[in-house]
Structure 1
Amino acid sequence: MPQPARRTPRAVPAGRRRRPGARRRHRTHRARRIAGAVSLAVLTTSGLVNVAMEGVGGGIGRVDAFAGLDNRPPKSLGENFLLVGTDDRDHLTGAESARYRLGGAPCHCTDTVMLAHLSQDRSRLSVVSVPRDTEVRLPAGDGRPARITKLNSAYQQGGPRLAVATVEHLTGVHVDHYLEWDFAGFMKTVDALGGVPVCTEVPLRDAKSGLDLPAGTTVLNGGRALEYVRARYLDGTADLGRMRRQQKFLAEVVHRATSTGLLLDPVKLAGTVRTTLGSIRADTGLDPADLIHLAEAVRDFTPGSSEFTSVPVADLDRRLPGAGAAVTWDRPQADRLFAAIRADRPLTAGRSATGSHRAVPGTPVPVDPHAVRVVVTGADHDAVRRTAVTLLAEGFAVRPPSAVRRVPAVATSGGARTVISYDPRWDRSARSLAAALPGSTVRRVPLLGGVLRVALGTGRSPVAPVRYAPAAPEPGAGAGVAGAVTGDSELCP
């Protein structure tokens, strides 16, 4: 999960000089990125990040969402998150439940299901809303017979593990992480962001959820936001209309988080995370440091960096014995959608495979810098620190020297030239790092492991900007998926 959202600078026509102000803005943007990396490096080396995150891990509810799962889809590029909103209200008082018209006892079902895909290069977030009433076949197990029912029953009958297994079976997408909110967790998250704006051309009123919004733009607190995302009886579109509003709301959440400076301040970010943890559960493999690193990865997101769609449907009123009306998918369209997710391709038309509508400066490299682990050493400690910070600003996963074992074959001083030592199994990572350190000598060291070692030389060159350039997408990848939109088209004017 930055800078305030910026407009992409327009190309300068031939024969015209870019205004000095434009050059200053470009330098300012890069300076801010480096300043953010410096702040993170200082916090890391001083131990303040650990202090800021103290107690965060213990506050997250944990669930083993993947234990015992077999026949899973293969892992693909990027990371896939199953986001589940449940109707549990254990953390709300009776008065709050009545105020927000939550009804009687919860069914312990999934109220909202979304599959979020973060691209391999961390430039694009694709969110797919999955109808909770999707017709599914739940397998037999744990004393329950196989049955045809609706998706929201998977969580009710088998908890997170059955929910994950069912979504993976439906989509063919490997789920890497699981995150679950209840009603209280959702409200706390919205309040921690200072509220979220929503806009409507006509008044919105839903007696069942309690929603009553005037036309125009309104900043919603947690309670009113819950009414908004739960409303189903506004326009006759039921759950499909609700999913559309949820997507608009989530686009505003992403914009709010990335445009307010929240993701640039690890201490502030940790405090915000802490306020929401009591009602959130995550898989055991997602630790607090991962959440912070995820936020760091998307700190430069703009509204156009996210894209949203819903699973295409063929029938909104398929009757299931004992389960009521269910939704069936348009299978060919759905297969195309999830094939794009598995291939790490954009969902919106005309978008580049790197997920951005704007030109990205820097030398193209074959491996995402976030996946390249690096240790920097040298006799000049100030130079080591500056190089490490600048590599961090370029996205490389810089580690302290104490994090790796000493290997005699590895250069500890580069002499006049900087030396990059690498294990031949990580040759593509070495090429990516060498592009950022022009003029370096690259040295193979068998069995060194996955952490690349940089020994700075006295005649080193400045760190050069790089950008991840994955293999070209399949033919036709730029056509997009029907109904997919970018986040900037969902924001309030």
Structure 2
Amino acid sequence: MSNTDDPTTPPSFAPSPRRRRDADGATPRTTSDMTPDAASAAPPSFAPHARTASTGSSRPSSTRPASIPPRTSGRRTTSERRVPPPTAASSASTTSSTPSSSSAPSGARARTATASSGGAAVARRRHPHRARRIVVAILATLLAIALIGGLSVWHWVDSGLRRADWLTDTPSGPATSWLILGSDERDGTTGQDGTTGERTDTILVLTKPKNGPSSLISIPRDSLVEVDGALSKINAVLGLYGRKPLVAKVEDITGQKIDHVAKINFGGLTTIVDALGGVELCYDQDVDDEKSEMHWKAGCHVVDGKQALAFSRMRYSDPQGDFGRAQRQRQVIGAIAKEAASPSTLLNIPKLTRVGDAAMAAISVDDPSTPATMARMLLAFRDASGAGGITGTVYWTDPDYYVDGVGSSVLLDDARNTELFSQLVDGTHKAGVVGTQAEQQG
């Protein structure tokens, strides 16, 4: 039963003046339709109750205490509003409409979701910092390991290098030049041609300019030079006069300072190639040469140390003689440098150790050389032997110039050689093959 059906309901608790039709279709009257006598007939006992704030209970407020002043006009504050006493229906309605603890209001759920997403965002923001710290720690560890390993390798190479006094007092130039010597050292024994002592049958000048291509140029072993007023082939200067006179003669031919020297013993060449696991060499002719012990089928082959040594020594079965041999010697040293600088060698510690031991046993260098010097030489070798490098021989005017007491010699073209090396040092010479031999073959 609604409040409007109860005849005792005071007017103050009547529904809002919204018109509603009864079952018979008549429109009931609102409080405003009543006469003043009817409106004032509501008993004071049914006046609204005030809820006790501390306990939630209600008490009748039909009589205003004297201590409470009459309410003035204006909007009531929250504390001034009177709350009607709950009825059974309103209590049931309130109970049924009160959300349970498991279902929060949508605003609360939104705030909870926002807080959760905010926490996840903070976690995501923190996660990259944690990952970055881990990456930095790993990189620092690897750097420390590499540094320690690098220092160990440096000490190992530096302590194993055999050094000697080779260099002259010639001022340094704008590029770095290495004199590479292949020595047929006999240690007092006699060679097949009756000669004794040490001869440098391989003479190469490796030049690395500041800008431009690297170059690897051969000087023929029979080149005619003059030392202390006497004529001689350049390959005999080391055995007859010593290290510095040989370097001085090469500086006379090139017109440039020699900054470093590396002398390779031919006997040690075989151990270097074997430590590398062989190198690939190419030659377009069949060869069966007993003096050099080179036995070759035309084409490219991976060879061991003994075959590489025969490949670099053979000249009697070569139509170009000593010039052809110089070309094959450049190929052998270039192949060694390429394989030694390859990842398959540098990343294989046991193999790298074997190659390093073999190289240090076979090579002697100048006093100022360091492991860094050797590394730069190796890279310059690789660059000069590649497609973007410069290879060839020096220029000559007569490849069969005969001198009494010396024999058949190569008479060099001093002016053209000085100009050639000036361009190589400046880095202005284009890549390709140079020298008189290249011009004759072209």
TM-score, normalised to structure 2, is 0.60
- Greater Cα offset, 246-255 or 266-275: 266-275
Q: Does structure 1 residue 77 correspond to structure 2 residue 174?
A: yes
Amino acid at match of 1:62: R
Q: Does structure 1 residue 253 correspond to structure 2 residue 342?
A: no
- The CA deviation string for residues 369-406 of structure 1, in whole angstroms up to 9 with x for no partner, is xxxxxxxxxxxxxxxxxxxxxxxxxxxxxxxxxxxxxx
Q: Secondary structure at the match of 1:304?
A: coil
Asked if the contact 1:112/1:132 (under 8 Å) is kept, the reply is yes
**Aligned CA-pair RMSD:** 3.4
User: Looking at both structures, which has the greater relative contact order when contacts are Cα pairs under 8 Å and sequence separation is at least 6?
Assistant: 1
Structure 2 match to 1:407? none
In structure 1, what is the Cα distance between the partners aligned to 2:232 and 2:384?
Answer: 39
Which of 196, 201, 208 aligns to 1:111? It is 201
Q: Does structure 1 residue 284 correspond to structure 2 residue 284?
A: no
Q: Does structure 1 residue 220 correspond to structure 2 residue 303?
A: yes
Amino acid at match of 1:315: D
In structure 2, what is the Cα distance between the partners aligned to 1:80 and 1:89?
Answer: 27
Deviation at 1:157, TM superposition (A): 1.6
Structure 1 pair 254–40 and aligned structure 2 pair: CA distance change class (3 A): farther
- The CA deviation string for residues 282-324 of structure 1, in whole angstroms up to 9 with x for no partner, is 0010022432465578889993243211012211111122111
Q: Does structure 1 residue 184 correspond to structure 2 residue 267?
A: yes
Stretches of structure 1 that go unaligned for 5 or more consecutive residues are 1-36, 140-145, 350-479, 486-493
Q: Secondary structure at the match of 2:180?
A: strand
Q: Aligned residue pairs: how many? A: 300
Q: Secondary structure at the match of 1:75?
A: coil
Structure 1 pair 314–296 and aligned structure 2 pair: CA distance change class (3 A): closer
Q: Secondary structure at the match of 2:312?
A: helix
Asked if the contact 1:49/1:267 (under 8 Å) is kept, the reply is no
Which of 416, 421, 425 aligns to 1:342? It is 425
Q: Does structure 1 residue 201 correspond to structure 2 residue 291?
A: no
Asked if the contact 1:111/1:132 (under 8 Å) is kept, the reply is yes
Structure 2 match to 1:362? none
Asked if the contact 1:254/1:303 (under 8 Å) is kept, the reply is no
Asked if the contact 2:206/2:215 (under 8 Å) is kept, the reply is yes
Q: Does structure 1 residue 234 correspond to structure 2 residue 324?
A: no
Q: Secondary structure at the match of 1:186?
A: helix
In structure 1, what is the Cα distance between the partners aligned to 2:371 and 2:425?
Answer: 26
Structure 2 match to 1:405? none
Structure 1 match to 2:392? 309
Which of 126, 142, 162 aligns to 1:61? It is 162
Q: Does structure 1 residue 134 correspond to structure 2 residue 223?
A: yes
Amino acid at match of 2:150: V
In structure 1, what is the Cα distance between the partners aligned to 2:226 and 2:381?
Answer: 36
Deviation at 1:137, TM superposition (A): 0.7
Asked if the contact 1:126/1:347 (under 8 Å) is kept, the reply is no
Q: Which has the larger radius of gyration?
A: 2
Aligned sequence identity (%)? 28
Asked if the contact 2:341/2:379 (under 8 Å) is kept, the reply is no
- The CA deviation string for residues 421-452 of structure 1, in whole angstroms up to 9 with x for no partner, is xxxxxxxxxxxxxxxxxxxxxxxxxxxxxxxx
Amino acid at match of 1:77: P
Q: Secondary structure at the match of 2:355?
A: helix
Asked if the contact 1:89/1:184 (under 8 Å) is kept, the reply is no
Structure 1 pair 345–161 and aligned structure 2 pair: CA distance change class (3 A): same
In structure 2, what is the Cα distance between the partners aligned to 1:308 and 1:204?
Answer: 24
In structure 2, what is the Cα distance between the partners aligned to 1:269 and 1:39?
Answer: 23
In structure 2, what is the Cα distance between the partners aligned to 1:264 and 1:306?
Answer: 26
In structure 1, what is the Cα distance between the partners aligned to 2:423 and 2:322?
Answer: 24
Amino acid at match of 1:80: S
Q: Secondary structure at the match of 1:76?
A: coil
Q: Secondary structure at the match of 2:322?
A: helix
Structure 1 match to 2:241? 158
Asked if the contact 2:270/2:304 (under 8 Å) is kept, the reply is yes
Asked if the contact 1:263/1:299 (under 8 Å) is kept, the reply is no
Q: Does structure 1 residue 318 correspond to structure 2 residue 401?
A: yes
Structure 2 match to 1:48? 149
Q: Which has the higher helix share?
A: 2
Amino acid at match of 1:135: L
Structure 2 match to 1:425? none
- The CA deviation string for residues 326-377 of structure 1, in whole angstroms up to 9 with x for no partner, is 101133432321121232333426xxxxxxxxxxxxxxxxxxxxxxxxxxxx
- Greater Cα offset, 339-348 or 306-315: 339-348
Q: Secondary structure at the match of 2:152?
A: helix
Amino acid at match of 2:209: S
Q: Does structure 1 residue 330 correspond to structure 2 residue 418?
A: no
Asked if the contact 1:181/1:279 (under 8 Å) is kept, the reply is yes
Q: Secondary structure at the match of 1:112?
A: strand
